């Protein structure tokens, strides 16, 4: 279950948001969870995934996301929110 899910009706967009601590982001469980969210979003048009992480961890977060992300996730807009 994601921390944030939003869409409109009729569905023209869908958003999933997830917040992670630096240690949690490094786990295999988080990798599986994020990949599942991206798989879901990749099947729909106009989707976005937001990852919220503590200050100064966006570079490491992008490294992890790029390792998790698969070619069929290319249509999903991904953003890291650093410092919330």
Which domains does the chain show, CATH number per domain? 4-82 (3.40.1350.110)
Instruction: Report the chain's mean pLDDT, rounded to a whole number.
Output: 95
- Segment 13-44, tens digit of pLDDT: 999 999 999 999 999 999 999 999 999 999 99
**What is the predicted pLDDT for the residue at 15?**
97
Query: What is the per-residue pLDDT for 83?
Result: 80
Q: Tell me the mean pLDDT in the region 7-15.
A: 90
Which residues lie closer than 8 Å to 43 by C-beta, 6 or more apart?
none
pLDDT at 84: 57
Could you give the strand order of the β-sheet that contains 14-19, starting from the edge strand earlier in sequence? 4-7, 14-19, 47-53, 77-82
């Amino acid at each position: 279950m994601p921390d944030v899910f939003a869409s409109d009706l009729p569905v023209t967009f869908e958003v999933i948001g997830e917040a992670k601590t630096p240690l949690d982001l490094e786990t295999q469980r988080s990798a599986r969870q994020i990949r599942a969210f991206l798989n879901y979003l990749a099947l729909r048009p106009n989707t976005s995934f937001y990852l919220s992480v503590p200050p100064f961890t966006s570079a490491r977060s992008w490294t992890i996301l790029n390792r998790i992300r698969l070619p069929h996730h290319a249509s999903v807009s991904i953003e890291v929110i650093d410092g919330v």
